[in-house]
Structure formats: C-alpha cells, structure tokens
Amino acid sequence: EAQVTQNPRYLITVTGKKLTVTCSQNMNHEYMSWYRQDPGLGLRQIYYSMNVEVTDKGDVPEGYKVSRKEKRNFPLILESPSPNQTSLYFCASRTTGQIGKLFFGSGTQLSVL
C-alpha cells in the first residue's frame, strides 16, 4: 500500500531534549516536505526536499533541521525543542510532476513542556 509513515503519532517532551520525528515513504517520490499545523494558522511549510541531498527552507524553518540521505526518508530534527514548537506536524511526499498529488502522513502531535 502506497503510504507516508510518520512516527511517533504522539510525543510529549521537555524543553531542550533533542528529538527526531521520522518520515518514510514507499512510493519512490523525489519530493518530500514537512508542515506544522497550528489552530487559526493553517499549515505552514517548515522544510522541503526536491531530491536526495537537496533541502530548502520553507516559511518557518527556525528551530528545525532536516536531512535527506536516502530517497525514502526525511526526518525532522528538533535539536532543542521549545514550547512554541508544540504543534501538529505533517510529512508529505509527491512526484516532481507538475501537479503530482501530495501524499500526507497521519501527523505527529508534539507537546513540549
């Protein structure tokens, strides 16, 4: 089954404790991206990757890191999480075709205390 898998689905952590949210897709998609969703703000793009070893900043990259060493994986790293990073996070992927359908993961609800 074609899918984007995010883990964990829920995470509670404390300020400053490094964490990684994993994202993996099995569709051989070139493009992958991370978004955060906050009430009243919609989804905002954090980082995206057009292919392996190619990453670019979105609208809200501060406090986040990503890497794309393999085509299927695109982890999101919070080196020193802060309470303002409490949010719902989505990973997504698609082909680089002009109107390639975006496949979303199931989301990760992160709470930073």
Partner 1 sequence: AQTVTQSQPEMSVQEAETVTLSCTYDTSESDYYLFWYKQPPSRQMILVIRQEAYKQQNATENRFSVNFQKAAKSFSLKISDSQLGDAAMYFCAYKGDRGSTLGRLYFGRGTQLTVWP
Select 17 or 89, whichever has its Cβ closest to partner 1: 89
Which residues of the chain form contacts with partner 1 (CB under 8 A)? 31, 33, 35, 40-45, 48, 50, 56, 58-59, 88, 90, 92, 98-99, 101-102, 104, 106-107
> Of the two residues 24 and 49, which places its CB atom closer to partner 1 in the complex?
49
Output 58 or 75, the one with its CB closest to partner 1. 58
Six-digit token string for 69: 């060493």
49, 31 in Cβ contact below 8 A?
A: yes
CA neighbor of 74 nearest in space, from 101, 45, 47: 47
